[in-house]
Every structure is written in C-alpha cells, then in structure tokens.
Amino acid sequence: MTEYEAPMRAPRRRWPARLALSLLVLIVLGALVLGGFRGWQLWREHADTEEIIAAQDTLLRRLSHQVGDQQADLEQQRERTADLTESQHQIADALAAEQARSSDFEHSLAQLGAAVQGGRSRAQLIAVEQLLLIANDRVQLEHDSATAATAMQLAQDRLATLAEPKLFEIRKAIADERTALLAVPHADRAATALVLSALIDRAGNLPLRARPPVSAVGGNSLTAEDGAPIGAGFWTRGWISVKQVLGALFVVRRTDQPVQPLLPADQEVLVIDLFDLKLESARISLLRGQTLAFRSALESAQKLLDDNYRVEDPSVIAARDQLDAMKKLELDPPLPDISRSLGLLRAYLDAMPR
C-alpha cells in the first residue's frame, strides 16, 4: 500500500456520517417545514374559525334582531287577529241577532198572512153560505128551481177561486144538487101566458048558444045584390026577398042531440065576462106557479064553454083543446133536497180556527 492510497481511503469512511447528517438535516428541515405548514394551517384554521365565529355572531345578532322583529310583528298580528276575532264574534252576534229578528218578523208576517188569508177564506165561505141559504129558501118557500140553480152556480164559482182541496166534498155536493135542480121539468109559462092572452082576446067572438048562426039561402051563385039570380023577373025577385025576410025571422035546424035551453039576452054579457074572469084567474095562477088554482080556473072555463057556448063550433072546439093542453102542465113540480151542501159547509166553517 502506498502513501497515496491511505489518504484516499479516509474520505470513503466519512460518507455515511455525512449522509446521516444530511438526512438528519433534511428530516429536521422537513419537520420544520411540516411544523410550519401545520402551524400555518392551525393559524389559518384559527383565523377562519374566528372569522366564522364572528360571522356567526353577526348572523346570530341579525337573526336575533329579525326574530325580535318577527316576534313583534307576530305579536301585532296576534293583536290584530284577536281584534279581528273579536270583531268577527261581534259581527256574528249581530248577524245572529238580526237573523233572529228576521225569523221573528217572518214568523209574524206568516202569522199575519195566514190570518189575513184565513179571514179572506172565511169571508168567501160565509158568502157561499149566504148563496146556499138563498137557494134553499127559493126551493122551500117559492119553489123556484131556476133562481136556486143560479145561486148554487155562483156558490160553486166562489168555491173554485179558493183552490182548497178540503172543499172538494162540498163542491161535489153543490154540483150534484144543482144537477138535480136542472133536471126538474119546467113548464113554459111565457108561452102559456101568451096562449091565454090570445084566448082572452077572442073570447068575446066565441059563439054562444043564444046566438044562432044565420044560414045562407042556397041558390045560384050568380045572384044579384038582393040574392035573385041575374036576369030574374020582378016576381021572382019579390018572392026571393020574402023568403029572405022569413028566413031571418024563423030558423029551422035538425039535430039528433037534445035541445038545450038558450041563454036569456041579459045574461050573455055576464057569461062572456065570467069566461074572461076565469081565463084571467088562470093566467094569474100561471104566473104565480100555483098548479091547483091554475087547473081549477081552466076547468071552470071549460065548464062555461060546455054549458053556454056552441060546442060544435070550430073556434069553441079549438079553445077547448087549448084549455085541455094547458091543464096538463105541472107548474109546481116536486123539487129535490139541496140542504146537504149547506150542512157540509157549516160543519167546515165550525171546524176552521177563528
């Protein structure tokens, strides 16, 4: 080994120490860097935390102010809500009181309307009762079915305006009774009165037995004014004139019936007046509707015709036929009972509340 080799080996022995020292330095430096970085991080975190805390404090203060404001607003809203609730309660109470007053008013108005309507209905029913009373009076006292039927028709019309179903039975009874009244046969009194008037007018012209008819002298139809044939001579005319004079004084009639005594001349006027009186009595009985008196007067008039007038004369026969026809008339036929409807109406009126 030379002298140059010894020094070269010595540095090779120091390299690990240096390397370890370098590593130590690096480790220290790394630790310092890491510690500094960690310290910086900690400082940074602490600074951020303080900023965050400060920001949070600021935010909390803001939030507390906002919460306070919100609480104040909420209190105001509660107060307003309470005021509104109280106002609503007051309005509800007022509405309830108004509804109660309105209900009372409607109830009173309904009662008043019912009372007014009931009064009107009762007044109408009382008017119907009066009409039915008139009808019954005309039937029972005057035997006047036409007027009674008219009164019942008016009663039926008044009941129809009420439109009350409970009155159906009364209306049906009135309709049935009026139909029964209309079914009663009626004599034509006006026409019969005209026939009697015409008979009274010609009663004075009816031939009495005390007035024998003057017979015409038979002969040629071609006669002159004195009854002689045209162209007859003086003697013929004279003889015909004598025959006419004798024919006027003496009348010869042939009959198979027994001869009845003639009326004296002073009784002819009495018979005519008596016949007129019987006809007038028959006309008065006709107008009054008295069947028995009417027939009695007609029978008396017929007896006067048979006893005092020429029964074979056509005018007397026609007058007697007219009297026979009028005797068949029924001036006062039996009328039906119409009191049931009146009884039903009075029962209904008694059941109505006053």
Q: What is the pLDDT along the chain (354 residues), one digit of tens a residue?
A: 444 444 455 445 566 667 777 777 778 777 777 777 777 777 777 676 777 777 777 877 887 777 778 788 878 878 888 888 888 888 888 888 877 777 766 665 555 445 444 557 888 899 999 999 999 999 888 878 888 999 999 999 999 888 788 889 999 999 999 999 888 887 777 888 888 888 888 888 888 875 554 444 444 444 444 555 555 565 666 667 666 655 555 555 555 554 445 555 567 788 888 888 999 998 898 888 788 898 999 999 999 888 888 889 999 999 999 998 888 888 777 888 999 999 999 999 988 876
Judge contact between 309 and 294, C-beta under 8 A.
Answer: no
Distance CA 111, CA 106 (A): 8
* The predicted structure's pLDDT at residue 97: 81
Distance CA 236, CA 27 (A): 215
Which two three-digit tokens encode residue 265? 């001349």
Terminal-residue alpha carbon distance, the chain = 165
Q: In the chain, what's the furthest Cα-to-Cα distance? A: 253
* The predicted structure's pLDDT at residue 251: 53
pTM of the predicted structure, to 2 decimals: 0.43
* The predicted structure's pLDDT at residue 128: 93
* The predicted structure's pLDDT at residue 221: 41
Sign of CA dihedral 319, 321, 327, 333: negative
Which two three-digit tokens encode residue 54? 């400060």
Q: From residue 116, give the alpha-carbon distance in Å to each of 18, 113, 292.
A: 135, 5, 53
